Structure 1
Amino acid sequence: MSTKDFIEKDYYKVLGVPKDATEAEIKKAYRKLAREFHPDANKGDARAEERFKDVSEAYDVLGDAKRRKEYDEARALFGGGGFRPGPGAGGQFNFDLGDLFGGPQGPQGGGGGFGGGGVGGGGIGDVFGGLFNRGGAGTRTAPRRGQDIESEVTLSFTEAVSGATVPLRMSSSAACKACSGTGDKNGTPRVCPTCVGTGQVSRGGGGGFSLTDPCVDCRGRGLIAQDPCPVCRGSGRATSSRTMQVRIPAGVADGQRIRLRGKGAPGERGGPSGDLYVVVHVDAHPVFGRRGDNLTITVPVTFPEAALGGEIRVPTLGGAPVTLKLPPGTPSGRVMRARGKGAVRKDGTRGDLLVTIEVVVPRELGDKARTALESYRAAAGDEDPRTALFEAAKGE
C-alpha cells in the first residue's frame, strides 16, 4: 500500500459501512464480503480475487483502532483524499511526497515546513509513521513478513475422503545461519546511503507526485554488507529445507488449494512468517467416484433382479457393505441412495453414497436360459416399447 493509495482510497466505501461505523459493524461487513469474494469460492475469477484483496486491505486499516484514527486524520487533512494545491499555486502541485512523509525538515529545521513540526508538533510524517515505516530510527529495524510458499501433495482417494497427515519437504528463504541474517561476514552491516536505512527510494510519478519503490542497492533491507557473507552473498537470506507434517482435512477435493497461516518462510527481524499454500491432487478410485460431499458407485444387477426386485449388497468406502432393497421393475440407470456413507463434511457429518443401477445383459446364454427367455418373450406378447417414440416423432 502506497501513501497515495492510503489517502485516496475510501475504505469505508469498500466495506460498505458509514464513517461512524462501530468496530462490530466493520467486522461484520468484512466477514460477509470476505466469504463472498474468497478465492476458494471463486476459482479462476480474477475480479473476485481483486475485490477480496481490496476488502482485506480496507479491513487491515479500519479494523485496527490506531490505524483507523491515522487514516481518518490523513483524509481529513487532505480533504477526503484529494491532493489540492494551495493558494497561488496556479493549479500546480509542486511539493514532493518524499518531503511530506518523513523527508528532511524545512529550512533551519523549523516547524512551519511540511517536513517539520507544523502538524501536531511532529510533522505530517508522524501521521503516517506507523503505517509506512518511513522516517525515524525505527525504520532501520522494521520487521519484514516472510514469503508465502506453495507446495503440492498427492493423496489417495480414501485419504482425501477421510483426511490424512502427510510429510511435506519444503525449500524456502530463511535467515542465513552463517551471518545471522545480517548479510555481512562479520555481522556488522552499514546503513544503506541511498535510502538512508528506509529500504525505499522516491521517484517522480508525474504531475508533481513522488512515488516510492524498494531500494535496489540494498534490496529493500536498509542495510548493506561491508564484507559480504560468502554463503548468502550479502543478501542475509539463504535457502533452507525442512520437513513438516501437514494435516489435510477430510473431504478435500482434487485441485483444492489449502492455506496454512504462518507455515511459510520465516520473517526478517522478528517479522511474522508467511503462509503455506498446499495444492492437493487426488488419485482416482477403481470403484468409487465423487460428487461434492457424496460418493458414487455403479452396481450391476441381473435382469431377473431388476424385473422381479430383491435385495442387493453394495460395498462402501472403508466400511461394511450396505443392503439396498431393489423395487420390482427397476430400470437401468436408476439412482438409489445409501445415507451417511459418503465423504466427510466440514461439520463432521457425512454425505451419501449414490448407487447407480446397471442392468447387465449376458453376452452368451446357455440352453436353459435361452429357452426360458424365449418363453418369457412369448408370454409378454408382441408389445413394442418403441411405439411411443414413433408417435412422438409424428407429432413434431
Structure 2
Amino acid sequence: MADPYATLGVPRSASEKDIKSAYRKLAKELHPDRNKDNTKAAERFSEVTRAYDLLSDATKRAQFDRGEIDAEGNPANPFGGGFGGGFGGGGGFRPEDLRGQNPFGTGGAGAEGIDLGDLFEGLFGGGGARSARTQGPFGGGGGFAGQQRRPPPPQKGGDIAYKLRVPFVDAATRKDQRITLADGKTIDLKLPAGVEDGTQMRLKGKGQHGPGGAGDGIVTISIDKHAFFRREGDNIRLDLPITLAEAVGGGKVKVPTVDGPVMLTIKPGTSSGTTMRLGGKGFGRKDGKRGDQLVTLEIDLPEDVTELAKRLDGWQDNRNLRAKMGV
C-alpha cells in the first residue's frame, strides 16, 4: 500500500481531526453504493480505509512515522542488520574467506593435509563449500552473511460495505437497529453517541474470509427524513400550529417529541413565530447529553373566518406593526 498520508491526501503534520475529515470525505466519494460496477473505486475505498485505520491509531501512527512498521502495519525490518560481524569482525562468516588459507599454518591444506573444501563438504553435505555459500547452515539463501527474511503475513479477507437506513426518531433516541449480514445472520447494532447522516461503524470480523482471518463490515448510516421534525445540529425543530384562541387566551397544548408527546404552556397574548425550548428532547451528543427541541408557534386561522369576523366587528388594532421596517 502507498504512503497512508498520501492516500488520504494529508501532510504528516495533520491533526486527528484533519485525518478524520479527509477520510470521511473520501469514503463518501468512493463508497461502493455510489460507485456500482466500478472496481477501481472499490479498491480505492479499501486503500483509504486501511490508511485511516493505521493513522487513526496513535501508537501505529507513531511507529510508522519512526519507520518501525510499513503502511500495512508489518515490521519494517524484523531482524535489524542481520547477524552482525560474525567471525571476522566483518559482514558475517563466509566459508570462501578460508579457501586457500590454512588455519594451522600456510598453504591450501591443514596440518594433516586435509583440503578445506572437503572439510566443508563433510560439514554441510554433498555441496561442499559452494553449498555452504549458497545455502547457509540455517537454510535459505545467503549463507552465514545472509539475512533471513520473514515471509509476509497471510492477507485478511476484504471488507464488506453495508448501508443502514435509520428512522429519524430511532436515530435521535439511539434505538438499537437490526442489520442482516452477507452470511444471512442478523445482529442488533447500538448506535453511537453523536450519530449523524454518513456516520460509519466498523464490525470487526464481519467481512470476507481470508487466509489471515476475516475482514470487517463497514456500516454507513443514512438517517431518514421526518414528516414534521427537522434536525439542526444536535437540536430538533418543530413548527407547531395553534389556534387564535390559544394564542390570545394562553393555555396548555400537547406537543409531539421524539420521546413521546408532552404538554407545553402558552402565555396569553403569544404571537405567531414565538419559539419555545424543550430541554433534552433533541439528538444525543458525544458527551452523553442531548440537544433540545425548539418549538415555533404558528397561529393557524380557519378557512371560513365568517364567525371570527363577526366577533371582531367594531374592534381595531391601531398599532403600526411595520413602522420599524420603514413602511
Q: Does 1:146 align with 2:157?
A: yes
CA offset digits 1:192-211 (Å, max 9, x no partner): xxxxxxxxxxxxxxxxxxxx
Q: CA deviation at 1:355?
A: 0.6
Bigger share in strand: 1
Identity of aligned residues (%): 29
* 1:30-109 aligned within 5 A: 33-39=15-21, 42-44=24-26, 52=52, 55=55, 60=60, 62-63=62-63, 68=68, 71=76, 108-109=133-134
Question: What secondary structure, in the 3-state scheme, does the structure 1 residue paired with 2:181 have?
Answer: strand
Q: Paired residue for 2:166, among 155, 165, 168?
A: 155
| CA 1:258–1:333: 2 relative to 1, 3 Å | farther
2:101 maps to what in 1?
Answer: none
1:252 maps to what in 2?
Answer: 195
Q: Does 1:317 align with 2:258?
A: yes
Q: CA deviation at 1:74?
A: 10
Question: What secondary structure, in the 3-state scheme, does the structure 2 residue paired with 1:375 have?
Answer: coil
Counterpart-to-counterpart distance in 2, 1:247 and 1:359: 42
Counterpart-to-counterpart distance in 1, 2:257 and 2:63: 48
- Quick check: 1:155–1:280 contact (8 Å CA) kept in 2? yes
CA offset digits 1:17-48 (Å, max 9, x no partner): xxxxxxxxxxxxxxx933442158843588xx
2:312 maps to what in 1?
Answer: 373
Larger radius of gyration: 2
| CA 1:110–1:255: 2 relative to 1, 3 Å | closer
Counterpart-to-counterpart distance in 1, 2:264 and 2:201: 37
1:23 maps to what in 2?
Answer: none
Q: TM-score, normalised by structure 2?
A: 0.58
Q: TM-score, normalised by structure 1?
A: 0.49
Q: CA deviation at 1:15?
A: 5.3
- Quick check: 2:254–2:261 contact (8 Å CA) kept in 1? no
* 1:1-396 aligned within 5 A: 1=1, 16=13, 33-39=15-21, 42-44=24-26, 52=52, 55=55, 60=60, 62-63=62-63, 68=68, 71=76, 108-109=133-134, 116=142, 121-123=145-147, 126=148, 129-130=149-150, 133=151, 142-171=153-182, 241-249=183-191, 252-268=195-211, 271-324=212-265, 326-367=266-307, 369-377=308-316, 380-381=317-318, 383-390=319-326
- Quick check: 1:163–1:247 contact (8 Å CA) kept in 2? no
Q: CA deviation at 1:146?
A: 1.3
Counterpart-to-counterpart distance in 2, 1:330 and 1:294: 23
Counterpart-to-counterpart distance in 2, 1:273 and 1:34: 27
Gaps of 5+ in 1: 17-31, 78-104, 134-138, 172-240, 392-396
Gaps of 5+ in 2: 30-47, 70-74, 83-129
The one-letter code of the counterpart of 1:389 is M
The one-letter code of the counterpart of 1:249 is L
The one-letter code of the counterpart of 1:145 is K
Counterpart-to-counterpart distance in 2, 1:333 and 1:40: 40
Question: What secondary structure, in the 3-state scheme, does the structure 2 residue paired with 1:159 have?
Answer: helix
The one-letter code of the counterpart of 1:286 is A
1:174 maps to what in 2?
Answer: none
Q: CA RMSD in A?
A: 4.4
